[in-house]
Structure formats: C-alpha cells, structure tokens
Amino acid sequence: MNLKALAKDLRSYPGITRKKTISEVLNFFSKTPQSKVLAAYGEDAAVLDYGDSVLLLAADGIMETLLKANPWFAGYYSILVNINDISAMGGIPLAVVDVISMKDERICGQVMRGMECAVEKFGVPVVGGHTHPDCNYDAVDVAILGTARKDAVIYSHTAQSGDDIIFVMDLDGFYPEKLGYAWDTTSKKDAETVRRQMLLMNEVGSRHWVHAGKDMSNPGSIGTLGMLLETSGKGGSVALDKIPRPKGIDFAQWLKSYQGCGFVLTVHPKNSSKVLRAFEKEGVEGAVVGKVNGSSLLSITCEGESQVLFDFKKDIITGCNPSRLPEGHACFKE
C-alpha cells in the first residue's frame, strides 16, 4: 500500500473538503452561551436541556448529486442520515419534519416513496414540514428531534488521551447503483434488525462506556474520526490493517464511504471489549483501530510506515475546535 498516495487521496476527497465551509458559516452565528443549550457546534445534534433528559435537534439537506443519481435513495437517506445523527449522540429518534421542493412530479414521487420506506423501516414518523410545489428545482431537507438521558449523551468533543479508537461497521451491505460511496446496510434488512442497531449507541451511552462518538458520514470513517479529534482538540493514530472491511471492496473506496450503520468511538481501554460485544451481538463488526493522543496530528499507519493525514494546528476539516466552542459547552461525565 502506498501510504503517502492514500493520505493525499483522502485529504482531497470532496466528502472531507466540503466540510471546511462549516468554519466560515460559524462566523455568522452568536456563540453567547444559552442556559438551555448544552452543546451545539461540532456535534451531530444540538443538545437542549429538558429536565432530567435532553432534546436532540438536527437537520440534513440531501446533496443535489444524490438526488439526481437516485431519487428513491435520496428520500430514503434523508430519513436515515438524520436517524444516525440522533443515534450517534446516544439518543432515541422521536420524529422528523421535512421540506420538499418540487419541479418534477416524477422525481418527487420517487423521493416520497423512499422516505415512506424509511419511515416504515425505522418507525420514526414524519409529523409535518413544508412543501414548495412550484419550484424550479427538486430538493429534500429533513430535520429530526430525539431524546436521551442527560447523563448518557455521547458528545463529539470529549475524546480523551489514551482512549482506544474503535470503528464499528455493518459489513453486510452493498453500494446502490450510481452511489459508489454510500454503503447501504439497511434498505434490504428487516425492520426489527435495523431498529435494534439504531439503539446500540443508546445502550453503550447509557452504560457510560464511551467518551466520544460520531456516525460515519460523508467524510468516511477516517474523515469522521478527523472531525471528532478536531472538535476534541486531540490527535490520534489509526492502523489501517485493523479496520473492519468486507471482501472484494476497494480499500480507498471503503475508507471514503458513508456507512448505513457505522460509528467512530473513543473508549477507555477497560470498556473496549464491552462496547465491541454490544455491537457484535447485533451483527455490527468492530475493532480497536488506534489510540487518541494529546498531539494535534491524525496519522495513519500500515506495515511499519506512518503518514500524517491532518495537523490540526494548521489544517481545518470543520473548524469546530475547542477554541471555537462557546464557554459552558457541556462535557460528558462518567
């Protein structure tokens, strides 16, 4: 494996580079602490104080390229990606609202059928939203509300030096037609299975086994880890040969893939085996792939070689580093 070439390929991957715009958008919004906002910037969902619990609020817009390539999956993923954002926080999804913009009724119908399938599969209802029936474009955007126990939320900014880095991924999947970086593990599975998998992060969070976590989204597994480490103000090293992978899939493609059910976790070593067993019992494979450290470097290693992928003293993925987090940003406590 040419480690230098792989690092260059990952650094230039659009799934990662497009996240940099987040750092520019952040400048438009006030970072004044709000008593009810426990966490926001850098997390998969905002965390809002709600008595003994929290409310989790997130939203996603589906990329235009996905909508054009496969409208059915665009609708399906508009629900799935939001569910994964709530799951990543250790939460339970409650309901979604959508904004549908229509130019082509045929495309809109396919999007709606994909959304309908996801709603039936995961049991998370669409409870309202807004429809634009007279647009010059087609688009779908979805927001989601979830909940979690206050002491069981899994944040992105709380990785600790010495933590094991764990990747968990459902290897039983496929790439849909025209979607070479979207590893689908849910659309062909039964509802009971995917609903159990949906709540795995809630289980490990409730048991206080996890310091930090994120779902493996458009930046892929390594890119998602990079976002977590950047937000936590940490570095880390990943052994590529430890990463779970299905047979017959190009490795670079796999590292860049959105995972239908996949999470990056940082865990105290004493809890790693417990976390792995929890996921394995539901058919999600996992492994300790590296360690969190106190540096600003994310490195990848293979066969005795090492290559720096990001140096967060100068490199930006999202710009959501500790210096950008509002004062009072909540921290996970064991």
Average pLDDT for 246-266? 98
Summarize pLDDT for 108-146 with one digit per residue, the tens: 999 999 999 999 999 999 999 999 999 999 999 999 999
Task: Give the separation between CA 202 and CA 306, rounded to whole angstroms.
Answer: 34
Sign of the dihedral defined by the CA atoms of residues 133, 134, 140, 146, in that order: negative
pLDDT of amino acid 331: 44
Under the banding of pLDDT at 50, 70 and 90, the label for residue 98 is very high
Summarize pLDDT for 296-310 with one digit per residue, the tens: 999 999 999 999 999
Domain ranges of the chain: 3-20+151-324, 35-149
Please give the share of the chain, as a percent, with pLDDT higher than 90: 90
- CATH fold of 3-20+151-324, please? Phosphoribosyl-aminoimidazole Synthetase; Chain A, domain 2 (3.90.650)
For the cut 60, the answer to whether the pLDDT of residue 334 exceeds it is no
CA 27, chain centre distance (Å): 23
Contacts (Cβ under 8 Å, ≥6 apart) of 2: none
CA angle, 63 then 220 then 146, to 5°: 70
Task: Give the separation between CA 241 and CA 255, rounded to whole angstroms.
Answer: 12
pLDDT of amino acid 34: 79
May I ask the CATH architecture of the domain 35-149? 2-Layer Sandwich (3.30)
